[in-house]
Chains A and B, each alone.
Chain A
C-alpha cells in the first residue's frame, strides 16, 4: 500500500510511481526495434555493481538483471540449477532459457559469490550468441595495485563492447556518461536524504520503485523522473506518524518483493537501506575530467559504498551497519537475507550478534523474491514496531 499523497501533487506522483511500477514488473528487455533513441543494443548485468557508464557511452543500454520477481513460473531452470541456489540466480537462468532475455547483446556477472559466477558459464552454454562474461571486480581493494588492475579490467570490457557495437567508445563519450550518472547518483542521494530527514514524505517502497525504474531506462530519462518526483515529494504535506525509525539490510542482490517493503512501511519508517546499493555505489561524484576509465576505477576503490559481498579492510560489516544507523538516526534494524544466499545469511548472523552486544533492537527476516504471502511477516513486523514504540516511549 503506497503512502497517501497531498491532493495537488497526487495525480502527478501517482502517475510517475505507476510508470515505475510497470517498469519493475517488466522482465523483458527492449529488442532492436524498441530501443530508446541513441542505443543499438542492451547489456544485462547482475548485481551488485557494474560500471554502466562504459556500456552507456558505447550506446548499449545497461539493464540490471534482477531476477524474476514473484510472478515468474520456473519451467526450465529447475532442471538446470539445484533447489539450494538462491532465487535470483534460478529465475535469472529461467529468463535466459525461456527467451525473455534473448535480445540482450551481452550479460555480465561479477565475483560477488559463487552462484553468481556460475551464471556466466550457464549463459555461455545456453545463449552463445551473447557476450557473456564475469567482470572480475577485485575483492582486495586495499592493495596498491587495485586501481590499476580495475582500470585494466574496464579497458578490457570497453574493448569487448567496442567489438560488439563496431565503433570506438571515446573518452569524451565516457565523460558525458559519467556526468549523467553523477547527476543520477546525486538525485538518489537527495531522495535518500528525504527518507532520512522527513520519512513520512516518501516510503521505502515508493523510493524503491523510483530507484528501480532506472535499472531499465536511459539514465537521462531516469534523471528527469527523479527530478520531478523529488520536487513533488518535497511539496507533499503529509503528517508525521508515530512509527519507529529502522534501517533495512539485506537487499543488496536478490530483491525483496515490493509487498514486503510495503508491509514494513506500514509499521515503520525505513530511514535507510541497502536496496539496489549498486546504483548508489559511489558516495561522491566520479571525477568528470582526466582519464574517465581511471576515474571510474579509482572511485570503486576510494569512493564506494559497502555490501556483504565486497571485502574492504576499511569497512567492517558491523562498522557500516552502525554508521548507517547513526547517520539515519535509526532506532533499530531489520536484518534480512535472501533464502539460500550464503553471504547474506552469514552477515545476518554477524549483524544480529553485534546488535545484541550493542543493545540495539533488531528483527531478523528471511525472504525470497518469489514469496507471495506476507501475513505472517506483517504480524512479526507489527509486533516488532510496537515493542520498539513501547521501548522508546
Chain B
C-alpha cells in the first residue's frame, strides 16, 4: 500500500526529456544556500531544523528561512571538507565517539559559520525532535553557545512490536492531541519571535503543496519496484530526498517532484534502468557515507547491483512516504498533528523495530540482498543493526552484507576492506543464482500489487 503508484497525478507541461534531476537538484540546493546567505540582509527570520520531525509547515507559514544543520554537515563531507571541521571540534574537546554531523557543526561554529558553500546565518529558533535523541543534545549546544531559543517537539514512536495504530483510533487520538498541544505552543513562540500573527490559510497552502510532493514522492518510490530500477536509491535518491526536505511545502519542491515522476515514468516506459544490465536488486539499510557515496555505489554497480530501496529514504524524510499521509487542509492544524504523529511512528519504527519494516520492503522491492551500513557514531541507525540482520538471516533466506564507515568522517572509510567485502558478497550472490531478467519484471510488479 505504502508505495503503490497513486493514480491521477496532475498533468504536467514540461517534457520529461528536458529535466535532469541531478542538475536541477544541484541548482535548487545552490539557490537555497544563496537564499540563506541573503537572509540577514533581507531581515528574514531563520530556523534550524532537522530532517525528521520538524514542523516545517508551521515555520513556512511564518516565512522562516530554513537551515538544515544535518545537510550543512553532509555537504562538508560531499565537498571533502568535513575532516577539517571535525578536527576543529575534536581539538575543542569533543569526543571521537560522538556523531560526526554534530562535530562538523561545532567546527562550523568555531569557524564563525563559514561553510564551503557560503555563510550560514544564525538562527532565531531551533526545532529539535526526539526522533533522533542526538538532535536534542545538538540543539542544546546551540542554546548554550548561540543562545538560540529551542523548541523540542516530542513525537511518540512505535512502542512495541506488532504495534498497529490506525488513523483515528484511541492511541492515535492521544498521540495527536499531544502533538497538537505542542504545535499550539510552537505557534505562540513563532508569533513572539517574528511579531507576525499566525495565518491558518497560509498553513493550509503549505500543506496542500506538501500533499502534492508526497503524492509524487510515493510514486517515485514505487517506480523503483520496477525491474530494471530506474534510479539508485542511494545515489539519485539522495538528491531526491534532499529536495523533499529542503523544499518541503515550497512551490519549487512540488515542481521538482512532479517533473521527477514524469521523467522516471518515461524511463520505466522505455525499459531503461539505472545500470545497463541490472543483475541484482538490493536494499540499503542505514545512512550514506557522504565522503565516499559515489565510490560505494560504484562498487555495487560494477557488479550490476542497484539499490532499489533504502530505508534512509523513509526515515530521513520523517516517514512521509506513505500514500495515506495526506493533510486534510480543511482542518489544517489538527490534521498536521494527526499526520505528524503517524509519519513519526513510521519513521521511527524503521529503526527501532526495523525487522518488521524490512521484511515488508524486501518483498515490496523484490530484492536479492540487503546491505547494512553501520555508522559507529550514529547509534540511531546502527545500534540494532547487527541483531536485525541476525533475525532476518534466520527467518528469510535473503543474503546480507554488513559494512561499516561513517557519515562524513573520512578516517573511517577503508576502501580496500570495503571492496573486498562487497566483492565477496557478489560472488556469493552469483553462486546462488538470480532469476533471469525476464522474470524479474513480473516479480517486482506482483510485489507492488500485493503490498
Interface residues of A (CB under 8 A from B): 79-82, 84-85, 89, 93, 111-115, 117-118, 120-122, 124-126, 128, 131-136, 138-140, 142-146, 148-149, 152-153, 156, 308-309, 311, 313, 316-318, 337, 339-340, 342-343, 345-347, 349-350, 352-353
Contact = CB atoms under 8 A, between A and B. Distances in A.
Given A120-B352, A339-B97, A352-B93, A80 B387 contact: yes
A147 to B, nearest CB: 10
Q: Would you call the interface of chain B mostly helix, strand, loop, or mixed?
A: helix
B156 interface: yes
B93 A353 contact: yes
Nearest to A345: B95
A144 B181 contact: yes
B387 A136 contact: no
Contacts of B391: 125-126
Nearest to B153: A140
B382 A84 contact: yes
A342 B93 contact: no
Given A121-B352, A121-B388, A144-B181, A136 B137 contact: no
B200 interface: no
Contacts of B150: 313
Contacts of B354: 121
Contacts of A111: 130, 133, 157
A126 B348 CA distance: 20
A347 B140 CA distance: 10
A152 B174 contact: yes
A343 B137 contact: yes
A118 B384 contact: yes
A208 B447 CA distance: 57
Given A114-B133, A125-B388, A132-B161, A149 B174 contact: yes
A149 B177 contact: yes
Interface of B: 93-95, 97-99, 102, 130, 132-134, 136-137, 140-141, 143-144, 150-154, 156-161, 171, 174, 177-178, 180-182, 184-185, 351-355, 374, 376-377, 379-380, 382-388, 390-391, 404
B152 A89 contact: no
Given A113-B379, A134-B352, A148-B178, A342 B137 contact: yes
A134 B387 contact: no
B156 A121 contact: no
Contact of A311 (B132, B152, B157, B159): B152
26 contacts: A82-B385, A111-B130, A112-B133, A113-B133, A114-B383, A115-B383, A118-B352, A120-B159, A121-B384, A122-B384, A125-B391, A126-B387, A134-B158, A145-B182, A153-B174, A308-B137, A309-B133, A311-B140, A340-B97, A342-B97, A343-B133, A345-B97, A346-B140, A349-B94, A350-B140, A350-B144
Contacts of A121: 161, 352-355, 384, 387-388
B353 A120 contact: yes
A126 B174 CA distance: 30
Contacts of A117: 133, 157, 351-352
A38 B23 CA distance: 69
A152 B99 CA distance: 33
A142 B391 CA distance: 39
B89 to A, nearest CB: 10
Nearest to B97: A340
A85 B382 CA distance: 9
Contacts of B153: 140
Given A122-B387, A138-B154, A84 B377 contact: yes
Given A118-B383, A133-B160, A138-B156, 16 more contacts: A84-B379, A85-B379, A85-B382, A117-B351, A121-B384, A124-B160, A140-B151, A140-B152, A143-B185, A144-B184, A145-B182, A340-B97, A342-B379, A346-B140, A349-B93, A350-B140
Closest 9 CB pairs of A and B: A145-B181, A124-B161, A149-B178, A118-B384, A140-B154, A84-B376, A133-B160, A118-B383, A114-B380
Nearest to A124: B161
A92 to B, nearest CB: 12
A133 B159 contact: yes
Contacts of A311: 136, 140, 152
Nearest to B162: A124
A317 B140 CA distance: 9
A346 B136 CA distance: 11
A80 B158 CA distance: 21
Contacts of A309: 133
Nearest to B387: A80
A81 B159 contact: no
B99 to A, nearest CB: 7
Nearest to A86: B379
A349 B91 CA distance: 12
A118 B379 contact: yes
A342 to B, nearest CB: 5
A125 B387 contact: yes
B387 A81 contact: yes
Contacts of A114: 132-134, 351, 379-380, 383
Nearest to B174: A152
Contacts of B156: 136, 138, 149, 153
A308 B98 CA distance: 15
A124 B391 CA distance: 11
A133 B171 CA distance: 15
Nearest to B173: A152
A82 B181 CA distance: 38
A139 B137 contact: no
Contacts of A347: 137
B171 A139 contact: no
A391 to B, nearest CB: 23
Nearest to A340: B97
Contact of A79 (B93, B160, B353, B390): B390
A311 B154 CA distance: 10
A361 B130 CA distance: 33
A346 B95 CA distance: 8
A310 B97 CA distance: 21
A352 to B, nearest CB: 7
Contacts of B93: 349, 352-353
A84 B161 contact: no
A343 B130 CA distance: 13
Nearest to A337: B95
Contact of A131 (B144, B160, B180, B388): B160
A258 B116 CA distance: 48
A35 B160 CA distance: 26
B160 to A, nearest CB: 4
Contacts of B152: 139-140, 142, 311
B137 A80 contact: no
Contacts of B161: 121, 124-125, 128, 132
Most chain A Cβ neighbours within 10 Å, of B140, B143, B379 = B379
